[in-house]
Structure 1
Amino acid sequence: MLVIPVTVLLLGLFSPILAADSPLPSFVKVCKRNDPKLNECFLKSAKNTLPNIVNGNKAFKIPKLDPFRIEAMTIGQGANSNIGLELTFRDIDIIGLKDTMLKDARIDLDKLRLDFEMVMPSLRVEGPYEVSGKILVLPITGKGMSNITLENVNVKWSLGGKLVGKTPESRRLQVDSAKVDIDPQNMRIDLDGLFGGEKTLSENMNVFLNENWRDVLGELKPGVNEALATIVTLIGNQVISSVTYDQLLPPQ
């Protein structure tokens, strides 16, 4: 299996989480652990909570997430890959989270696992980039502005957690793992400044990237998923760890 090193830098984006005895915001629908229709309740609660989180929320000390600013992200490819890239973004914006439509949400109390399925009509990445390496047999180098748009993106993500706290009353659910999988129906790529700004080479490479977007995404996808998982873990902990486990999911 190809291992792709990914570095995500989010400096100063999140404030410290709330004290464990802070009240839940009013928009959070509380679901009881003994509810026989817990997953239905959890889905309704997640649908109501999501737009409040995406638009930023002072109660959870979360800034506005659309656009979502990432100060640095590097996706490095292995030498044995057909697409051997090292792609670095700086001060990029991820745009489109506000239009996310939640399709399903499930909770496993025994495994302390949360699973979500959602659709994003458009997910766009804009900002400075630098790339070096090769795509198939073609070398690629460049530095400039990027505009990468994923269309009709199906997203599955899972959060794994553990309970932390010295007493049952102070226990909080802490996210310690996350997995994200994206499946777009199309991807459009526009990289300005390829090959030192040489117009013909740059235009031809962008055409090639767009014509072969599935192959490009297939190679970069593990790294992108890993980067998104890092972000999801930060957001998940900011929300879930803000209150005690019994506040979040009362026993009855």
Structure 2
Amino acid sequence: MREILYLTIICFVPIFAKELPPYLKICNRDSPEINDCIKNSMNALAPKFHTGDLNYSIPNISQLNCDDLLKDVRIDSKRETFMNLTKLDLLRCYNYDVKNIKMHFNESDLKNTLINGIIGPFEVLGHYEILREYPFSKISSTGNVTGLLNFYINASIDFATYENDSKKYINATDVKVDLLYESGDVHFSKIYPLSNIIDKQVNVKINTKLSKYTKSINSDMQNFFNLKIKEHLNAFLAQYTYDQLLPEIRAEYLKLCNKNDPDLQRCIKKSVLFLKPYLSRGIPELKVPSIEPLMLREPLILNPSNGLRTVGLEINVKNISVYGCSDFDLRNLYVNFDKDTVNFDLKLKDLMINGLYNVDGRILLLPIKGNGKFVGNFSNSVGYVRMDSQIVKRDGHEYIQINAMKVKMEIGKGNLQLYNLFGGDRSLGAVINNVINENFDLLSKEFIPPLEKELSRLMLRLANNIVSQFTYKQLFPES
């Protein structure tokens, strides 16, 4: 039983590694949704505890040995009856469900972090000895014990921060746990070897009193496991800095703008431009991928032959990568707080795209077929963007939710190069590429509508990934 408590608390403490597991959601310590985030992170780890993941220091807890943990436990005070459990194994301890967690943050500690949930069903296998003391004799029985158990877990853990080598770390200063029996079924073999009927009746009686028996051992193991949990938890926490375990939401990439700033539009523009290098390499903690390149996974169909009698081509392109999107200039920004709209222009000096193409058609009487890689270069492009949003409430906090993002593109000069035309014949390929680029204006008009649609979709998702992590007051404080 003591090992159950220890294991439960370890399961219920979020596990992080120096390189965070890809399946673990990052939780920012000053997010208003920190409690739900950590709860979901811990529950997501449950299947990983089944197999373990040594790359991220996640142990395999599908079977744990708890030998000689419970000795001389009094189970019947009237008859002076004691029990010893030895060679005890707990199976399927990864079966847990965190129901609630509540953390309290301040500058230096996290007092009274409360966790509750359910652990089980897990399987118990082991050996028992029951000793009954009578006035003039002692009677003992031994055998194997098996069973399935479910428990409620309540825990209170106090954490504090400390510095080591100019870095901040966190450790547990106090741990208090309580394990409450919910349901279960156990069987003690040979508890009354002289009669199978009596043996069965005794097991039935034991199961009707499992709740009572579990209460009788809680006080005995409380102090022991408070110390053990604290010892092992701190050994784990010492490997990681505080910012690794719980990064601050107001990271270096976020420049706040006071809502009462008389030059608010300029502040917002500077804040967006400050994001450029972070958008280039991505912001993993916000699940914002790098936009270098910007990946357009939806295939596009281009028809540069519209309006040309001598050209009949259809070009299908896919797996498109766009480079240069992070090197933008922001112009004509206007934020209307009353209507929750934002309008701005994006000046993109140089864009380079590549991907795969498939072409089918004709130029004059010459049939054109081919497939392979393509490369395009565009200069002095402009995106005209309108963003519609609203204020929504979640858990008593106001957030910005972006409902629509409309992008209109104008492409300046450019060229497109298709490789492997005519099976790689360079001379014929050059002729066809020249014809395509002589009609680049027509090609760009075909290219723009599907590109606008895809860019609108991607920018909407990217923007919501960012603003959904912050409350409205965090983004636009009033003081």
Match for residue 89 of structure 1? 318
Aligned residues: percent identity?
A: 25
* Contact 1:100 1:120 (C-alpha < 8 Å) held by counterparts: yes
Q: C-alpha distance in 1, partners of 2:465/2:26?
A: 6
Q: C-alpha distance in 2, partners of 1:16/1:112?
A: 30
Q: Which structure is higher in RCO with an 8 Å CA cutoff and minimum separation 6?
A: 1
Match for residue 222 of structure 1? 449
For residue 66 of structure 1, give the secondary structure of its aligned residue in structure 2. Answer: coil
Say which of 337, 353, 372 aligns to 1:125. Answer: 353
Q: C-alpha distance in 1, partners of 2:453/2:302?
A: 13
Match for residue 261 of structure 2? 35
Q: C-alpha distance in 2, partners of 1:61/1:41?
A: 25
Match for residue 74 of structure 1? 299
For residue 98 of structure 1, give the secondary structure of its aligned residue in structure 2. Answer: coil
* Contact 2:26 2:285 (C-alpha < 8 Å) held by counterparts: no
Q: C-alpha distance in 2, partners of 1:206/1:185?
A: 19
For residue 218 of structure 1, give the secondary structure of its aligned residue in structure 2. Answer: helix
Q: Cα offset for 1:77?
A: 6.1
* Contact 1:74 1:86 (C-alpha < 8 Å) held by counterparts: no
Q: C-alpha distance in 2, partners of 1:24/1:135?
A: 57
Question: Of the two, which has the highest radius of gyration?
Answer: 2
Match for residue 249 of structure 1? 476
Q: Cα offset for 1:240?
A: 1.5
Gapped regions of structure 2 (runs ≥ 5): 1-23, 35-248
CA RMSD of aligned residues (A): 3.1
* Contact 1:146 1:191 (C-alpha < 8 Å) held by counterparts: yes
* Contact 2:302 2:443 (C-alpha < 8 Å) held by counterparts: no
Cα deviation code 1:131-169 (max 9, x no counterpart): 4467899875431001011112222222222233245x4
For residue 247 of structure 1, give the secondary structure of its aligned residue in structure 2. Answer: helix
For residue 26 of structure 1, give the secondary structure of its aligned residue in structure 2. Answer: coil
- The one-letter code sitting in structure 2 at the alignment partner of 1:220 is F
- The one-letter code sitting in structure 1 at the alignment partner of 2:432 is M
Q: Cα offset for 1:64?
A: 2.3
Seen in structure 2, the aligned counterparts of structure 1 residues 121 and 77 have a Cα distance that, compared at 3 Å, is closer
* Contact 1:97 1:123 (C-alpha < 8 Å) held by counterparts: yes
- The one-letter code sitting in structure 1 at the alignment partner of 2:282 is G
* Contact 1:150 1:186 (C-alpha < 8 Å) held by counterparts: yes
Match for residue 48 of structure 1? 274
Q: C-alpha distance in 2, partners of 1:173/1:27?
A: 18
Say which of 162, 167, 173 aligns to 2:390. Answer: 162
- More moved, 26-35 vs 118-127: 26-35
- The one-letter code sitting in structure 2 at the alignment partner of 1:75 is L
For 1:1-252, list aligned pairs within 5 A. Answer: 21=32, 23-70=249-296, 72-76=297-301, 82=307, 85=314, 87-90=316-319, 92-132=320-360, 141-166=369-394, 169-251=396-478
Q: Cα offset for 1:35?
A: 3.0
Cα deviation code 1:56-80 (max 9, x no counterpart): 123323232212334x3222469x9
- The one-letter code sitting in structure 1 at the alignment partner of 2:317 is T
